[in-house]
């Protein structure tokens, strides 16, 4: 039963990833080494006979976990990825909005402008956040990276946005339909390599990964994928409850996304 639904999700994501590659001139993907963007890379390998045909970008503010850097090097080698590391600056007094918004976005903007990237794959899911649930599969951003969420394009019947204002780009969201638990069921079924931080050590694990400054580990005994799936079936806490940026103000996610945050 689970497999049937996963197959349907996989089919749709592969279709969207192929549309992205075939409909735009120069695409790239964001890779945080988290579960969602790593699953997306696994899907991209399925879409293109085992080879990811676009660069994958890690926006590195220098304060990610050591495990995350190791995982990046390992998988880059194993899957022969064209991994591009963008260094972003961090000031110690920054947190949440300023850090995620300003820092990361500035480095990304520069890279995309310098390289003429017209499509960026971002592995967000609807169930993560009410604002992300409002996204289209293919969503235009203007030259300033802004999201005009009050006037999104029509999107239906396999017709995704292709019309660009000259200097803008599109965000492509192939995982929009997936739930957190779908990701883990898929990781299990497809043996997708995972960042070890998701698994419990000394009674704690990370459920959603950001950098060391704004991510908090949650109490958990889930030491493997089966444990995680069981935990998710019974938890009543939000996935991003360990992420600082969502909590600062009610509409901080809306503001971040409107400004170009992933």
Partner 1 sequence: MIVKNVTLLGHKDHGKSTLIGQMLIQTKTVTQDRINEAKKISENLGRPFEPGFILDSFSEERENAMTIDTTRAELTYKGLAFEFIDVPGHEELIKNMISGASYAEFAVLLVSAAPEEGIRDQTKRHLFLARMLGIKKLIVAVNKMDMIKYDQEAFNGITADLSSFIRNIGFDEGNATFVPISAYSGDNILEKSANMQWYTGRTLLDALYDSAESAESNVNPSLRVLVQGKSFDSENGIMGKVLCGEVKVGTRVVALPESRNYTVKEIVSQGEQVQSAHAGDNVDLEFDGKVDEEVRGSVVADETGAPSPSDEIIGKLFVTKRFNGNTLIKANGNEMRCKINIEQVIDPTTGNAIKDSKPEELQAAIANIKLEKKAVFEKSEKVPELGRFLVYSDNEFAGIGIVE
The footprint of partner 1 (CB under 8 A) covers 1-2, 4-5, 7-8, 10-11, 14-15, 18-19, 22-23, 45-50, 53, 126-127, 129-131, 133-134, 136, 149-150, 152-159, 162-163, 179, 236-238, 241, 250-251, 254
**Are the CB atoms for 122 and 139 separated by under 8 Å?**
no
Shortest Å distance, C-beta 148 to partner 1: 11
Going by their DSSP bridges, the two strands 218-219 and 204-205 should be labelled as antiparallel
Tokens (6 digits) for 62: 């220098």
**Residue 102 DSSP one-character state:** I
Smallest separation, CB 98 to partner 1 (Å): 20
Least distance CB 233 / partner 1 (angstroms) = 11
How many CB atoms within 10 Å of residue 251?
10
By beta-carbon proximity to partner 1, the closer residue of 90 and 183 is 183
Cβ-Cβ contacts under 8 Å for 218 (sequence gap 6 or more): 204, 205, 206, 207, 237, 241, 242
User: From the CB of 225, what's the least distance to partner 1, in Å?
Assistant: 19
Smaller CB separation from partner 1, 53 or 116 = 53
Nearer to partner 1, 174 or 210 (CB): 174
Q: Distance between CA 147 and CA 135 in Å, rounded?
A: 10
CB closer to partner 1 out of 66 and 191: 191
What length is written for the chain?
Answer: 262
- Any idea what the Cα angle at residue 171 is, between residues 43 and 136, rounded to 5°? 90
For partner 1, which is the closer residue by CB, 67 or 190?
Answer: 190
Q: CA-to-CA distance for 228 and 208, rounded, in angstroms?
A: 12
Smallest distance, Å, CB 85 to partner 1? 26
């Amino acid at each position: 039963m689970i497999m049937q639904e996963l197959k349907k999700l996989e089919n749709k994501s592969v279709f969207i990833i192929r549309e992205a590659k075939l409909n735009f001139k120069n695409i790239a993907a964001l890779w945080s080494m988290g579960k969602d963007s790593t699953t997306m890379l696994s899907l991209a390998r399925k879409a293109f006979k085992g080879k990811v045909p676009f660069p994958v970008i890690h926006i590195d503010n220098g304060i990610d976990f050591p495990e995350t850097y190791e995982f990046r090097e390992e998988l880059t080698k194993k899957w022969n990825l064209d991994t591009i590391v963008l260094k972003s600056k961090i000031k110690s007094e920054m947190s949440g909005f300023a850090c995620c918004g300003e820092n990361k976005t500035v480095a990304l903007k520069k890279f995309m402008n310098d390289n003429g990237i017209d499509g960026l794959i971002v592995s967000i899911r609807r169930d993560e956040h009410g604002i992300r649930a409002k996204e289209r599969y293919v969503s235009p951003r203007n030259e300033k990276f802004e999201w005009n969420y009050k006037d999104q394009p029509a999107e239906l019947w396999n017709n995704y946005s292709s019309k660009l204002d000259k200097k803008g780009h599109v965000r492509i969201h192939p995982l929009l339909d997936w739930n957190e638990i779908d990701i883990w069921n898929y990781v299990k079924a497809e043996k997708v390599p995972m960042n070890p931080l998701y698994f419990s050590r000394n009674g704690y694990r990370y459920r959603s990964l950001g950098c060391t400054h704004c991510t908090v580990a949650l109490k958990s005994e889930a030491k493997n994928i089966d444990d995680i799936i069981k935990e998710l079936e019974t938890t009543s806490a939000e996935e991003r409850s360990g992420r600082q940026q969502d909590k600062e103000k009610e509409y901080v996610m809306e503001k971040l996304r409107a400004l170009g945050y992933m």
